[in-house]
Amino acid sequence: QTIYLKDYTPFGYRIESVDLTFRLHPTATRVISKIVFAPNPEATDKRFFLHGEELELISATVNGDPITPRLVEGGLEADVPEGPFIWEAEVEISPQTNTALEGLYMSNGMYSTQCEAEGFRKITYYPDRPDVMAVFTVRVEGDLPVLLSNGNPVERGAGFAVWHDPWPKPSYLFALVAGELINHPDTFTTKSGREVELNIWVRPGDEDKCAFGMEALKKSMKWDEDTYGREYDLDIFNIVAVDDFNMGAMENKGLNIFNSSCVLTSKETSTDANFERIEGIIAHEYFHNWTGNRITCRDWFQLCLKEGLTVYRDQMFSGDMRSHAVKRIEEVMILRARQFREDNGPLAHPVRPESFVEINNFYTATVYEKGAEIIGMLRRLIGDEAYRKGCDLYFDRHDGQAVTIEDWLKAFEDATGRDLAQFKQWYSQAGTPRLKMEESWDDGTLTLTFTQSTPPTPGQSGKKPQVIPIAVGLISPNGDEVVPTTVLEMTEAQQSFTFEGLGARPVASVLRDFSAPVILEREIDNDTRAFLLAHDTDPFQKWEMGRALAKDTLMSMIVKGTKPSFAYLDAIKSVLVDDGLDPAFRALSLGLPAQDDLAQSLFDAGVTPDPQRIFEAREELRHLLSAHLREVLPALYKENETGAFVPDAEGSGKRSLRLAVLSLLSLRDEGVTARALYKRADNMTEQAGALQALLSAGLGTEELQAFEAQWKGDRLVMDKWFTMQVASAVPETAAQVAETLSRHPAFTNKNPNRFRAVFGALSANHAGFHHESGAAYRLLADQLITLDAINPQITARMSGAFETWKRYDADRQDMIRAELERILATPGLSRDTTEMVSRILAA
């Protein structure tokens, strides 16, 4: 059943208060609810329907009188009085057998919840929709030492705890946690003097892995005060780490729940990338307190209202904490790898979709990452001050409400006097705009002519011109910047911009800081790219030019069988040895485009991608780089050694450069350097980095065994062990490696992290996944069919591995189609997976 944005109607009732009692039991938890409803004067539809799934109704009363509600598809209906009334019900649920990890479930003996988007209906009968906001009081009864819920603690006693959340919230922000947990405590005093108790709750044994997360939380709280004027609003803020969790983390009011992989850290077990990501996720969930919780979404079509904005906020936070240049490059890599990929295939959808079957399938790169890009464009167009003014107005106007994208944009229209009607198309039009640029030069005047067009996407053929902010700078032939960054505002299908009074013809640096999520098409030769790589003042464009050189080199190697030019190799070398540049930036410049990215570019150029050929070309280039750079690698390796491990921008930058160098070095020294580092490493960044360098040189068998022996007791580190093997497997063995690992005693498909560690890695191993035997397609389909009965959300998400199938040759397409049809034919296949696989097949 498809749900449409245009069909929105408000619920017929308001909720004045919610009282819940939980009597916890692994297989027979009782949930007793008392809800005071009153008619909603703004609603015309007075049907009293409460969502409910997988609930056993024990009893129900209205104003104390027992009633027999009509059980209907997805919930119940009842006849209720015209005025305010009290609804009471008791239901029974079974957390222990809840392997979908949605609603109330058990993970390693502890109780936990995940209610976004529609999990609360698996806890009790309720209007489980974000526009119904209510004040909750929750009593948790259970024979466990720690009993948590949202809001402030009211009462604690033997075997129970009562929590009250004074802030009205939708049911998706409800949370409950119970178990044997230990806290890492701290405090934070808000700008206006509120003392807040902070805790990170973990299972015994993990209490020494909370310090970094706690610092990240305090920095986030401070940053939101300083940057957005937003303070925390309860006496307590709890974070809990849970091992079995579908996503990264969840912003439940006052009780954030995290996948343990997204909060626990130690230098021995976490890499620099883990530290950086965790800092960002803690910030993200905390920032939701205002962008998501205090102001929430009217309906799930507005998901980007909270997610795009909150991603944008966490990106800016990370930039402030670390390096904006490095962060921006990383963001663009992710955007291109996930969102552009999505936009180019059968799953393309607008940032604000117009319909869905299962909302969990729309927690996508488009909603999150492109949603964040839209906020960035808005800010670039109106300026920092107006952006802050608009945000302030939005917070003032809508605090306590469930609102829409229209409300968000209206705040900016009112704050700036600007018409955002055309800009709004970014929310409704799917697909990545292609931005073509032509240049002409005439006697001191440079004219840049841009033409925009967006290819059709499923259900959307005719695309309209969008508002595109194009950040441009000009560099003179001697390398000086003659025109600093200027934002051109493109609104037409074709538009020209001129720069007058120039001396010599400058080189244009276009789409600086990646000012819009578009694909820039521009006639540019490799000499010009090398020139910009050397002279551009914009770090993103500087990196982009190196990346374009590498891509062009690889594309010609693949298509024409040419050898890389010395110009390219030398350009990369000069960046690498330029110690005026940030080591993190140099490491990023040494990276090659991903195989999946090359496959898409080949397809766009009209060439059917051959995954094996792409893999070989990339390997060949790694070897050539390693040879060309042989004289500088050892010195770089030495120079970038860090002292005591500190997971900050500086230390991690040096380590990333050093490990990128090590990976090339290992192709030449039979792994001597990497093996030495592996033995000596006192931190996971270097230990895993050394092991990866060995594996990508076809070495490391012994170290792999040693790694397992050392870390078999640590789930999160073992996930890395699983992933590394699948990721580094050569194309012809990748499926076999994954299959063997799926029979390892430590493998389980009940833990999403572990499943992803193996099968997420398999689908990310481009040449392995697309090996001509079709073995990986079959294996993944087998696994997804089994997993669907256990965890539909993860199954549906992982089926996205097939979304690019139309790029490939007829044999591969036939094999993939057969697997997709086989999945779809599975009796009882979930709604989640059915929707995803059908959309992919419809391509």
- Active site residue ranges: 285
Cβ distance to ligand ARG smaller for residue 285 or 330 = 285
Among 144, 173, 250, 695, binds ligand ARG (CB under 6 A): 250
Distance in Å, CB of 796 to ligand ARG, minimum: 10
Distance in Å, CB of 285 to Zn ion, minimum: 7
Cβ distance to ligand ARG smaller for residue 117 or 602 = 117
Query: CA 56 to CA 287: how far, in whole Å?
Result: 36
The item of Zn ion, ligand ARG, none sharing an interface with residue 749, based on CB under 5 to 8 Å by kind, is: none
Q: Is the bond preceding residue 810 a cis peptide, omega within 30 degrees? A: no
Listed ranges 264-272, 301-309, 470-478, 555-563: which one lies at the site for Zn ion (CB under 5 A): 301-309
Cβ distance to Zn ion smaller for residue 173 or 602 = 173
Distance of CA 817 to the CA centre of its chain: 28
Query: CA 185 to CA 19: how far, in whole Å?
Result: 28
Amino acid at 544: E
- Residues 797 to 826: which contact Zn ion by CB under 5 A? none
Distance in Å, CB of 103 to Zn ion, minimum: 19
- Residues 260 to 299: which contact ligand ARG by CB under 6 A? 284-285
Cβ proximity of 506 and 476 under 8 Å = yes
Length of the chain: 843
Distance of CA 624 to the CA centre of its chain: 34
HEC states along 668-718?
CCCCHHHHHHHHHCCCHHHHHHHHHHHHHCCCCHHHHHHHHHHHCCCHHHH
- Residues 107 to 166: which contact ligand ARG by CB under 6 A? 116-117
The item of ligand ARG, Zn ion, none sharing an interface with residue 88, based on CB under 5 to 8 Å by kind, is: none
Distance in Å, CB of 354 to ligand ARG, minimum: 19
For residue 164, the surrounding DSSP H or E stretch is strand 160-169
CA distances in angstroms from 548 to 532, 568, 657, listed in the order given: 11, 10, 20
Beta-carbon contacts of 40 under 8 Å, excluding residues fewer than 6 positions away, are 10, 11, 12, 13, 14
The item of ligand ARG, Zn ion, none sharing an interface with residue 338, based on CB under 5 to 8 Å by kind, is: none
Among 173, 178, 210, 249, binds ligand ARG (CB under 6 A): 249
Closest CA to 431 of 405, 406, 464, 408: 464
Cβ distance to ligand ARG smaller for residue 206 or 307 = 307
- Residues 303 to 322: which contact ligand ARG by CB under 6 A? 307
Query: CA 28 to CA 11: how far, in whole Å?
Result: 31
Number of residues that bind Zn ion (CB under 5 A): 2
Query: CA 720 to CA 714: how far, in whole Å?
Result: 10
Query: CA 322 to CA 315: how far, in whole Å?
Result: 10
Distance in Å, CB of 306 to Zn ion, minimum: 7
Cβ proximity of 381 and 33 under 8 Å = no
- Residues 775 to 834: which contact ligand ARG by CB under 6 A? 793
Cβ distance to Zn ion smaller for residue 251 or 582 = 251
- Residues 460 to 519: which contact ligand ARG by CB under 6 A? none
The item of ligand ARG, Zn ion, none sharing an interface with residue 513, based on CB under 5 to 8 Å by kind, is: none
Give the three-state DSSP class for 255.
strand
The item of Zn ion, ligand ARG, none sharing an interface with residue 753, based on CB under 5 to 8 Å by kind, is: none
CA atoms within 13 A of residue 177's CA, in its CB half-sphere: 29
Cβ distance to Zn ion smaller for residue 107 or 310 = 310
Listed ranges 120-128, 149-157, 205-213, 303-311: which one lies at the site for Zn ion (CB under 5 A): 303-311
Neighbours of 574 (CB within 10 A): 12
Closest CA to 579 of 523, 619, 621, 635: 635
Number of residues that bind ligand ARG (CB under 6 A): 13
| β-strands 146-149, 176-179 pairing | antiparallel
Cβ distance to ligand ARG smaller for residue 252 or 640 = 252
Distance in Å, CB of 330 to ligand ARG, minimum: 18
- Residues 326 to 385: which contact ligand ARG by CB under 6 A? 360, 363
The item of ligand ARG, Zn ion, none sharing an interface with residue 363, based on CB under 5 to 8 Å by kind, is: ligand ARG
Residue whose Cβ sits closest to ligand ARG: 363
- Alpha-carbon Rg of the chain, whole angstroms? 27
The item of ligand ARG, Zn ion, none sharing an interface with residue 279, based on CB under 5 to 8 Å by kind, is: none
Beta-carbon contacts of 643 under 8 Å, excluding residues fewer than 6 positions away, are none
Cβ distance to ligand ARG smaller for residue 251 or 703 = 251
Distance in Å, CB of 257 to ligand ARG, minimum: 10
Distance in Å, CB of 360 to Zn ion, minimum: 14
Place of tokens 């909150």: 310
- Does the protein bind ligand ARG through residue 301 (CB under 6 A)? no
Distance in Å, CB of 697 to Zn ion, minimum: 39
- Residues 189 to 248: which contact ligand ARG by CB under 6 A? 246-247
* Residue 791 main-chain phi, psi, to 5 deg: -145, 90
CA distances in angstroms from 317 to 312, 349, 391, 550, 790, listed in the order given: 9, 28, 16, 31, 37
Cβ distance to Zn ion smaller for residue 310 or 457 = 310
Among 251, 373, 536, 544, binds ligand ARG (CB under 6 A): 251
- Report residue 371 as tokens: 């949603």
The item of Zn ion, ligand ARG, none sharing an interface with residue 249, based on CB under 5 to 8 Å by kind, is: ligand ARG
Listed ranges 114-122, 300-308, 349-357, 460-468: which one lies at the site for Zn ion (CB under 5 A): 300-308
* Residue 628 main-chain phi, psi, to 5 deg: -65, -30
Cβ distance to Zn ion smaller for residue 102 or 307 = 307
Neighbours of 328 (CB within 10 A): 19
The item of ligand ARG, Zn ion, none sharing an interface with residue 536, based on CB under 5 to 8 Å by kind, is: none
Cβ distance to ligand ARG smaller for residue 582 or 835 = 835
Query: CA 18 to CA 137: how far, in whole Å?
Result: 6
Instruction: Quickly list H helices, 322-404.
Output: 324-334, 341-343, 365, 371-382, 384-398
- Interface pattern 98-117 for ligand ARG (x via CB under 6 A): ------------------xx
Distance in Å, CB of 361 to ligand ARG, minimum: 9
Cβ proximity of 104 and 113 under 8 Å = yes
Distance in Å, CB of 157 to ligand ARG, minimum: 33
In 150-253, beta strands by DSSP E: 152-157, 160-169, 176-179, 182-189, 195-202, 236-242, 249-250
- Residues 310 to 329: which contact Zn ion by CB under 5 A? 310
User: Which residues bind to ligand ARG, rule: CB under 6 A?
Assistant: 116-117, 246-247, 249-251, 284-285, 307, 360, 363, 793
User: Which residues bind to Zn ion, rule: CB under 5 A?
Assistant: 307, 310
